[in-house]
Structures are given as C-alpha cells and as structure tokens.
C-alpha cells in the first residue's frame, strides 16, 4: 500500500554529508517539474534553525528561528512540517524538495504527516545522499557525529555509522556522489530496503520514477521494524556477509552485560530486538554500528510471541570468518539454557538486572 495519491508530491533529502545532500537537492530542483526547495539547517551552538526557500527564479525566503531546544524533533514540530504544508497550500509549485537538517531522519517527518492524516503534503520519495569516497568509513567507522560537527543537538551522541545506516535503511533512493568501491555499494544495497534504488556516481533517478511516487510507508516501516520476523533477502554479493541470529529464548541479563562488546564491537551494522526474563513482557531494541550500540525499550510484546533476533551485516574484507563465528558464539552463549528456562521465582524476580540505565526501572517493566 503506497502513500495516498493526493497532496503535493514531496521529496525528503537526508544524509550525513552536506556536499552530497546539496548535490542531490540541486539535481531534484532541476529535474522535477515546477519544484520549490526548502532547506533547513540547525546551528547547534546558537540553538537556531535556518530556513531557506528557493525555486528556479532564485531565493524566495530566508529566516532564522530561535529554538528553545536545538534538536531535530523540535525543528520538525515547530517549522519543517508547517513549512511543507504552507508551500503546498500556496499552490504555485507542483513538487516540493525538502533538504532536511544534516543527520535528521526522514521517518520523523513521515510519521508526523501520517499521524496528522495530512492531505496537503504527500511524501513521494525519501532520498539519502552519501559521499562515495568515504562510504565504507561512513557505514562502518566508530566516529561520533559530534566529533565531526554533524550532530543535531548538544546532547546528540549518535555514531556516524549508526545514523548513516538508519538513513539508508529508510530510504527509497540512495544516491552516492563520487567514486565508491564495489563492495561499498553492495553494502548499501544489502542494508537498503528491497526495491530501493541505489544510484552510484551521483547519477539521477529517472524523473518518471520519481514522479510516480516511490515511497511505500508500510513496507518501509516493516523493513526498519526492530521486531521484524520476515526472512531476509540475500546479500548483494559475496563481498557482504550477514548473520541472521534468532531465537525464541531470552538473553540472560548477566551474560548479555558481560558480552555486549563481543556482540556489538567491530566494523559492522547490527540491529534487532531481544528480551530478558527479568522483564518478560518488554520488547527491547538493539541498534548499533561501528562498534557502538544503543539499547532501548520498545512497545510491550502484547500478543506477539517474544523473540530475540539480531541481524549483523558487514564487509568480508573487514571481518574474517573467525570474527563472525565469535559473534555467533557470543549470541548463543547469551541465550538462556534449558535449565535456566525452567527457573522461576527469585532468580528473575530481582530488584535490578543491570540494564536500568537503558531499559528503565524493573518496577515499571511490562
């Protein structure tokens, strides 16, 4: 089921490299019929949001907005979505290109528009623009956004690889600007949603495909869902490996804590879900890349069967077979044994399990 056919088609440009994003935005401005471009940039230190609106006639509007908290969520709520609606209501343009703030995720915009039942703005495609020469380091390295000046707020401690991986996974189109190796492009193709376009060398996506609308909100949400259960497609080539680690058993909280580094460390992308016997009704999310892992609470399992599933993806040239076997072994070791599965009572009714900083107090666990 695709997006509704009504509303002004809007193209969201995301990325972690300003030059690549600018190149994609400029290409869309000239390729799409009667397009208007709105660019948002967050100045973290000044806590300001800068908005520029332009079309083929030139710059139409520049404005700086002071934000109470300079973060992407605030920017989306206070200016980005209202601006898209305002441009659609004017009726002067037949398409809108939205250059989102650096490292901002398009899913926030899509979800806000979806929750509000918006009929003026239709997300036609989400485009993630990446730099080709640095593509492997971008998707597998251990740098933080803040270290590179690409963060969205003073509190933003996200990793570059984790952020870029999430942007690729949500995109309908990934444009790569500049030369990228074949293995880097195959890594992008493996991470991207099946059916997404991966365009090397900064080439343009055919206009007829863009205009027809590439964004399938339901399929995209299913692909990025931490608790997805569907089988995975094959990797793009032998240059890319993928471990689909899954079980209906929970992780033992103590062993998981001890082996977090073995599961998450290394130049690869990992994401998925798990559960713990100390908080059996609570689904827990796993999101990592480049040796950094974020863990958080998701919605309760409810009627869904609890599962533990981590999908780990990397390049053969960066991770050998022994290292991949070690990841699998760490996963298996963290799972409850047959004897532990039959254990009840005080073993799991403990006051703490060591994951309170990420998952909340056990007293409030579902």
Q: Give the burial class of 275: count Cβ atoms within 10 A of its Cβ; 0-12 exposed, 13-18 middle, 19 or more buried.
A: buried
Q: Within 13 Å, how many C-alpha atoms sit on residue 174's CB side?
A: 30
198 and 292 together in one domain: no
Instruction: Give the pLDDT confidence of 104-162 residue by residue, as tens digits.
Output: 999 989 998 876 666 789 999 999 999 999 999 999 999 999 999 999 888 889 999 99
CATH number for the domain spanning 325: value is 3.30.1220.10
Distance CA 335, CA 332 (A): 5
Q: Is 54 inside a domain boundary?
A: yes
Q: Is 357 inside a domain boundary?
A: yes
162 and 292 together in one domain: no
Looking at the chain, the whole-number percentage of residues with pLDDT higher than 90 is 78
Q: Is 235 inside a domain boundary?
A: no
178 and 35 together in one domain: yes
Q: Are 87 and 53 in contact (CB under 8 A)?
A: yes
How many other CB atoms are there within 10 angstroms of residue 163's CB atom? 25
Q: Is 231 inside a domain boundary?
A: no
56 and 153 together in one domain: yes
Encoded tokens for 59:
């710059």
Instruction: Give the pLDDT confidence of 275-305 residue by residue, as tens digits.
Output: 999 999 999 999 999 999 999 999 999 999 9
Rounded to two decimals, the pTM is 0.94
Which range of residues forms the domain containing residue 27? 8-224
30 and 76 together in one domain: yes
244 and 332 together in one domain: yes
Q: Is 233 inside a domain boundary?
A: no
Helices and strands in the chain: count of H runs, count of E runs: 13, 13
CATH number for the domain spanning 191: value is 3.40.50
Domain count, the chain: 2
Q: Is 12 inside a domain boundary?
A: yes
Q: Give the burial class of 238: count Cβ atoms within 10 A of its Cβ; 0-12 exposed, 13-18 middle, 19 or more buried.
A: exposed
What pairs with residue 55 in β-bridges? 58
Q: Is 229 inside a domain boundary?
A: no
What pairs with residue 144 in β-bridges? 159
Q: Is 1 inside a domain boundary?
A: no
How many other CB atoms are there within 10 angstroms of residue 243's CB atom? 17
Q: Give the burial class of 147: count Cβ atoms within 10 A of its Cβ; 0-12 exposed, 13-18 middle, 19 or more buried.
A: exposed
219 and 247 together in one domain: no
């Amino acid at each position: 089921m695709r997006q509704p056919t009504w509303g002004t088609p809007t193209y969201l440009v995301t990325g972690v490299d300003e030059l690549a994003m600018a190149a994609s935005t400029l290409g869309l401005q000239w390729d799409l019929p009667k397009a208007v471009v709105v660019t948002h940039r967050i100045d973290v230190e000044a806590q300001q949001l800068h908005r520029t609106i332009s079309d083929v006639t030139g710059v139409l509007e520049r404005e700086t907005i002071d934000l109470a908290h300079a973060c992407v969520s605030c920017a989306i709520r206070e200016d980005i979505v209202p601006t898209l609606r305002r441009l659609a209501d004017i009726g002067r343009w037949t398409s809108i290109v939205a250059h989102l703030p650096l490292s901002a995720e398009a899913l926030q915009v899509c979800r806000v528009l979806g929750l509000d039942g918006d009929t003026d703005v239709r997300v036609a495609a989400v485009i993630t623009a990446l730099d080709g020469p640095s593509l492997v380091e971008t998707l597998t390295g251990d740098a933080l956004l803040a270290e590179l000046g690409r963060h969205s707020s003073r509190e933003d401690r996200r990793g570059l690889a984790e952020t870029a991986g999430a942007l690729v996974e949500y995109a309908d189109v990934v444009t790569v600007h500049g030369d990228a190796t074949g293995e880097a492009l195959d890594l992008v193709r493996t991470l991207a949603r099946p059916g997404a376009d991966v365009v090397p060398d900064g080439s343009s996506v055919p206009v007829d495909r863009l205009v027809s609308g590439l964004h399938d909100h339901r399929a995209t949400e299913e692909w990025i869902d931490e608790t997805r259960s569907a089988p995975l497609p094959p990797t793009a080539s032998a240059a890319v490996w993928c471990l689909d680690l899954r079980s209906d058993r929970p992780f033992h909280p103590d062993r998981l804590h001890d082996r977090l580094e073995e599961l998450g460390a290394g130049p690869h992308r990992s994401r998925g879900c798990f559960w713990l016997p100390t908080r059996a009704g609570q689904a827990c999310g796993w999101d990592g890349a480049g040796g950094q892992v974020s863990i958080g609470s998701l919605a309760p399992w409810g009627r869904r069967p609890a599962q533990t599933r981590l999908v780990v993806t990397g390049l053969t040239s960066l991770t050998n077979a022994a290292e991949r076997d070690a990841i699998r072994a760490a996963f298996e070791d963290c799972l409850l044994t047959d004897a532990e599965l039959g254990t009840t009572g005080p073993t799991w009714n403990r006051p703490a399990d060591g994951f309170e900083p990420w998952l909340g107090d056990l007293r409030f666990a579902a």
